[in-house]
Structure 1
Amino acid sequence: MGAERVREIVRNYLSERPRNTAEIAVWLNRHDDEAKGADVAALLESDSSIVRIGTVRRSGMTGSAPPLSEWATEKWVRHHERAKPDKK
């Protein structure tokens, strides 16, 4: 499966709610044998319709383990943006 097809199925997966890099990698490995071992973060960063919205710590991990990035689609972000308060 080509990179564009992988991006498409990841976009569909992210349309439900944001997910972290580990969740996406596990889900992708279950659904696409060719995607195993792919650099998920690089794949997500190369798609302009997917944005990094924050970071999360791995559950139960302590020490200097880097946090995981959390990803969402642009459409999800626009739909869930908070309205800016009116200035008075």
Structure 2
Amino acid sequence: MSTWLIDMSDNNLRTSIKKYLTKKPRNTAEIYSWLNKKNILSNYDLAELLESDDSIVRIGVVRKSGMIDKKFPLSEWATKEWVKYHGRSIK
């Protein structure tokens, strides 16, 4: 079985992630998992990539079992449109 990995430009990757975030916020691990399921090459610092887009914002940190990985913090991300519509605050 052959596995195809797609290497996307930063802009295309951000656009794809924004579409994924339109329905609801997602945490960093969910976004990584979604990218892997779509066979998108994940050699990115995802937090840095998301922070570089003005229309994507960090709205919180997910704490599961008191563990947060320092390399990949479980931040919760949303689009600014989602935040505005739902009246959530930006962290």
Fold match (TM-score > 0.5):
yes
Q: 1:68 aligns with which of 66, 74, 87?
A: 74
In the other structure, the counterpart of 2:55 is 49
2:38 pairs with 1:28: no
Instruction: State the percentage of identical aligned residues.
Output: 51
Change (3 A) 1:20 1:63: closer
Deviation at 1:38, TM superposition (A): 1.5
CA RMSD of aligned residues (A): 1.9
CA distance in structure 1 between the aligned counterparts of 2:62 and 2:67, rounded to whole angstroms: 14
Give the partner amino acid of 1:72.
A
In the other structure, the counterpart of 2:4 is none
Gaps of 5+ in 2: 1-7
In the other structure, the counterpart of 1:85 is none
- Return the structure number with greater helix share: 1
Deviant stretches of 4+, over 2 Å: 61-67
Larger-gyration structure (1/2): 1
Deviation at 1:64, TM superposition (A): 6.6
| Structure 2 residue matching 1:33: 3-state secondary structure | coil
Give the partner amino acid of 1:10.
I
Gaps of 5+ in 1: 83-88
TM-score w.r.t. structure 1 length? 0.78
In the other structure, the counterpart of 1:4 is 11
TM-score w.r.t. structure 2 length? 0.76
